[in-house]
Structures are given as C-alpha cells and as structure tokens.
C-alpha cells in the first residue's frame, strides 16, 4: 500500500470516528432524557453493564481453556469454532458408544 493510500485511509477513519462519536453522544442524550433520576441511575447502569460484560468474558475464556489445550487456543484464529467442534465431536462419540 502506498503512503498516499495510507494517509487517505487514516483520514477516512478519523472522519468515521468523529461521526460515530457525534452519533453516540446524541443517543446518550436521548437515553438520559428517558431515565428517571439519571444522576443516580446512569452510573449504576454503566457499572452493572461493565461488570456483566467482564463476567461473561471471563466465563467464556474459562470455558475455552477448560475444553482446549493452551496450544490449541494459541494456534487457532477462531477459538470458538475449534471449541465447538471438539465439544460436539466428543459428545457425538459418547452418544454412539451407548
């Protein structure tokens, strides 16, 4: 890629980021208007959602590492696909033995 194309790509990314920030700010204003007592409830909602996302992320990683070896995780581009194929293949083998 030439230097000119990289510069144009960076400019497009900057413009897109500015537009997304403006859109997010507008949505935040709409949400705050709908909240009852936003000074109390908005920080609470942010804390709860961040905690929930972190817990789901950690539990997902625990599920991956309990199912797959470290080498399989590091060698895969799509860990969830590898995990599902290993998990469902092992369950299929168990169901055929019975």
CA distance 79 to 61: 10
> How high is the pLDDT of residue 65?
81
- What are the pLDDT digits (tens) for 17-67? 888 888 877 777 777 788 888 889 888 988 999 999 999 999 988 887 887
> How high is the pLDDT of residue 44?
92
> How high is the pLDDT of residue 68?
76
> How high is the pLDDT of residue 96?
61
**Integer CA distances (angstroms), 30 to 33, 45, 92, in order:** 5, 15, 50
Q: Residue holding tokens 């950690």?
A: 58
Spatial neighbors of 63 by CB under 8 A, at least 6 apart, are: 83
CA distance 96 to 60: 28
Q: Where are the domains of the chain?
A: 1-34, 37-98
What pTM value is reported for the model?
0.53
Q: Tell me: pLDDT of 11 over 80.
A: yes
CA distance 23 to 17: 10
- What are the pLDDT digits (tens) for 74-87? 777 777 676 666 66
> How high is the pLDDT of residue 58?
95
């Amino acid at each position: 890629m030439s230097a000119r194309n990289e510069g144009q790509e960076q400019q497009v990314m900057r413009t897109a980021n500015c537009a997304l920030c403006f859109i997010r700010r507008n949505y935040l204003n709409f949400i705050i208007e709908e909240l009852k007592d936003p000074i109390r409830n908005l920080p609470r909602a942010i804390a709860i959602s961040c905690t929930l996302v972190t817990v789901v992320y950690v539990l997902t990683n625990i599920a991956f590492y309990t199912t797959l070896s470290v080498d399989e995780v590091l060698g895969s581009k799509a860990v969830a696909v590898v995990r599902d194929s290993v998990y469902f293949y092992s369950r299929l083998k168990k169901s055929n033995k019975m």
